[in-house]
Amino acid sequence: MEKEKIPREELETRIRDLEKRVVELYTLYNISRNLSVTLQLDELFKRSMDLIADSLSLEQFFLVLLEEDGLNLSVQAFHGFAAEKLAGLRFKLDDGLLGKAVSTGETLSLNEGERDKKDPLTELGCNGSLLILPLKVEDQPAIGALVAHNKDGSGFSAKDRSLIAEIAGQVANAIHKARIYQKARDLSYRDELTGLFNRRYLFERLEAEVERARRYKRNLSFIIFDVDHFKRFNDNYGHLVGDDALRAVATAMAGALRRHDVIARFGGEEFVVLLPETKGPAARAVAEKLRKRVSGIELRDPKGEKLQGLTITAGVSVFPDNAPEALLLIGEADRALYAGKKGGRNRVTAADDLGDEAGEDMPI
C-alpha cells in the first residue's frame, strides 16, 4: 500500500515546529544544568536573570520572593529595569495583580489597558503586556513570581507563555533546593544556646569581610565581649540560670545592632561583633552602647527573685589600622579585652589605647 504523501508546505511547517521544539528543549536543559551548579541564592538569582535574558526575547523581567512574614514580596533580581526603580522594592501580598498571582498560584497574562491604573505594577511603569508566573514547586503554595513585561503591548503567544512557564518552574525548583540547603547550613552556623552565629561562621565571615574591606579600602571593626565574673554567677545560681542569663545578654546585644552587623558567640561567656565599614570611634561607641544595655538587664530566678546584674568588658580593634589580617584583628581586640579586665572590668578598651604593651600579666 502506497504511503500517503505529505504536502511540501505542511512538511516544512512540521520541520520548523520540530526545530523550534528542539531549541526550546535545549534551552530548558541548559537552564536546568546551569541552575543546578549553585545552591547560593544570590548567585542563583543572577544566573536566572542571565539565562532568561539569553534564552528569551523579553524586554524587561524581574523576580520576587515571598518574605518570611508572609505579607510582602521583595524584588530579588531584575533585567531591563533601572536599578533605582526596582532595587530593594517590596510589594504587599494583598495589593494588586502580583499579590493576586502569588496568593492564588494563578498565571496572569494581561495586555495594555487590562488593569487598574493604580496597580503597583502600572505605577512601576509596566504599561505594556504583562505575564506574571507564580514560582511553585509541585502542589505547594507559590514562593514568589517571575514577572515579564513587553513595552510595546504586543502580548505573549501561547507558545511563549508555555516556554516561560517551564523556565519559571525550573527557577522555582532551583530556589526551593537552595533554600533547603541554606536552612541546613544556617543550622550548622548557629549556637544552640543563644541562637547567635557560632565560632565556625564567625571565622568564615571575618575572612570574607576583611577581604572585602581590603578590596574597597574600607574599615572593619571587631569587638570581643566577655561577661564579667560569669563563673561566680554560675556558682551562685546554677548553670540553668546561667544559660538564661547568656540568652538575655545575646538578645540585648543583637537588638542594638544594624541589620548587616554580625554577632556571634565566640565560646563560653564570650561574644564578638563585626561592624563592616565602621571606624574606631564609631565602633567604640557601639561597644559602649552594648555594655550599657547588658548592665541594664534585669535577671530573675525561676521563682521570680531578682538576681545580681551582669556587666561586660569589651575590646575593640579596627582593620587595617590595628591589624592587616583577620587573626591579627582578633588578637588585637583580645589584647584590649584583657587590658580592660586588668583595669577593673565593666569597660570598653580599644587597641589604640594600648600602645606596644605586652599582655602576659593580664588576667584570664
Q: Cα separations (Å) of 103 from 94, 108, 117, 364?
A: 8, 12, 21, 57
The position carrying cell 538578645 is 251
Determine which one of 2, 112, 138, 269 is catalytic: 269
Residue 125 near residue 62 (C-beta atoms within 8 A):
no
CB count within 10 Å of CB 25 equals 11
User: Does the annotation count 269 as an active-site position?
Assistant: yes
- Round to whole Å and give the CA distance between 244 and 137: 40
- The alpha carbon dihedral of 338, 341, 342, 346 has a sign of positive
| Residue 264 and residue 349 in contact, taking contact as beta carbons nearer than 8 Å | no
**Maximum separation of any 2 CA atoms in the chain, in Å:** 106
Give the chain's count of helices (H) and strands (E).
Answer: 11, 11
CA proximity to 242, closest of 197, 199, 293, 193 = 193
At residue 251, the 3 state secondary structure works out as helix
Catalytic residues: 269
